[in-house]
Amino acid sequence: KQGLTGRVMFYTLFMVLLFGVIMVQYMCPSEDRALVRFIPRFNFSKSDLYRGVDFNIKGDDVIVFLHIQKTGGTTFGRHLVRNIQLERPCECHAGQKKCSCYRPGKKETWLFSRFSTGWSCGLHADWTELTNCVPSRMGPQETPKNLPRRNYYYITILRDPVSRYLSEWRHVQRGATWKASLHVCDGRSPTLSELPSCYSGDDWSGCTLQEFMDCPYNLANNRQTRMLADLSLVGCYNVSTMSEDERWAVLLESAKRNLRSMAFFGLTEYQRKTQYLFERSFNLEFIAPFTQLNGTRASSVEVPAETQHRIRVLNKWDVELYEYARDLFLQRFQVARQQERRQKLCYCSVTSSKSCTFTDGLCNWPHIALNVLIHSRLSCGLKKSSDNGISAVEK
């Protein structure tokens, strides 16, 4: 009789667990469908995929936002200063471009970005500039040797290369120049012969897409790869040190390496997943959900297929970098969701079906009581992860 009772209890437990798993899949269809066609191409280490930083906003840690042009960085930057739940929210005033993002109890910033510290290291400073400039700009840290050094957590946003390129062309066509950019590398800015201009006059307003593509010195070409790489590896802007393909191959590998080591990066095309991964990485939460807007000025431009092909050829290193980044991004998202599902399982005790306790680790299946219930809503997460639903990209 006891053996029969044990078997009944085992099968009952098994059916309850099976029902819970089915409910989880039923209640989370959008997330599963979003990745159903994703097949990983690259093998990443556990340290590359399991992202989570011990960000101490009350200590000395600093988040550094590397803002690449026309990737939706302005929108994301506003999220950082206006849309995060903080013990001491950033102070933003009408008519002022910068906000004061101070730590609790200190008049010291925890965020290095356009909307907090301004362009302190130059307009749209790249990885080479920021990593050499930020520590000195944040002030000398006179700390005893037995205390840890300040942590700088670099973050960035990437965008589909063709869309980003078209967006930059439209922006330049309207008169943007970014002439104030310093492009400092190995202690100096490039000479005019090292970095010639694509136009004469104050700006390049009114330029056609053909003219934009024809300029061999256009920094829009492979901008994301260049801005994420260590330029000192290739002699900075001196292109005579090696062949073009060799130079860009070195830059691409450097950009990939730096991207992997960053505390976080997001993709413009995946706004809600970007929000989710940032929140998981830094243990911070946004107030309002990110919104995916696909109707931008770049998307409204009708570009023939052959022109799109030429843009992809001009930006072939960015195309390769983006494919790599997208693969890493989606693998990180999958891993983060799997972790969350394990952590959000709700176990109900045998004595009271209304009593639930949240676990904060992996499932300890051998010790689960008979009356186990998987809370499907919680295992889906507290937020929906669909990429629908402040604006996603710069127009």
pLDDT for 52: 84
Domains and CATH numbers, the chain: 55-139+148-345 (3.40.50)
Report the Cα–Cα distance between both ends of the chain, in Å, rounded.
72
d(CA 162, CA 323): 12
Determine the pLDDT at residue 344: 72
Which segments of the chain are extended strands (E)? 62-66, 111-112, 152-158, 264-267, 346-348, 356-358
Residue of 67, 79, 124, 171 marked active site: 124
Q: How confident is the model at residue 2 (pLDDT cuts 50, 70, 90)?
A: low
Choice among 48-57, 134-143, 265-274, 324-333 with the minimum mean pLDDT: 134-143
Helix or strand or coil: residue 286? Answer: strand
The pLDDT of 182-195, averaged and rounded, is: 97
At residue 12, the pLDDT reads 72
Greater pLDDT, 6 or 232: 232
Highest mean pLDDT among 13-27, 205-219, 379-393: 205-219
Cα–Cα distance measured from residue 317 to residue 165, given in angstroms and rounded to the nearest whole number: 13
Model confidence band, residue 77 (pLDDT cutoffs 50, 70, 90): very high
Give percent of the chain above pLDDT 70: 75
Q: What is the pLDDT of residues 333-366, one digit of tens each?
A: 999 999 998 887 644 344 444 444 444 444 443 3
Mean pLDDT along residues 182-199: 97
Is 81:116 a contact under the CB 8 Å cutoff?
Answer: yes
pLDDT tens digits for range 304-331: 999 999 999 999 999 999 999 999 999 9
**Percent of the chain clearing pLDDT 90 (strictly above):** 70
Q: Tokens for 310?
A: 């030429």
Whole-angstrom distance, CA of residue 281 vs CA of residue 228: 20
Q: Which residues pair with 197 in a beta bridge?
A: none
Token pair listed for 124:
């749209």
- Of 9-13, 192-196, 229-233, 289-293, the range with the lowest mean pLDDT is 9-13
pLDDT > 80? residue 16: no
The answer, yes or no, to whether residue 94 has pLDDT greater than 80, is yes
Q: What is the pLDDT of residue 26?
A: 42
Using the structure block, give the residue that is written with the tokens 């000192």: 232
Q: Residue 394's pLDDT band (boundaries 50, 70, 90)?
A: very low
Tokens 């053996």, residue? 3
Report the predicted TM-score, pTM, of the whole model to 2 decimal places.
Answer: 0.80
- Does the annotation count 124 as an active-site position? yes
The residue among 175, 202, 325, 306 whose CA lies nearest residue 262 is: 325
Mean pLDDT for the stretch of residues 373-386? 38
If you count DSSP H runs as helices and E runs as strands, how many of each does the chain have, helices first?
A: 14, 6
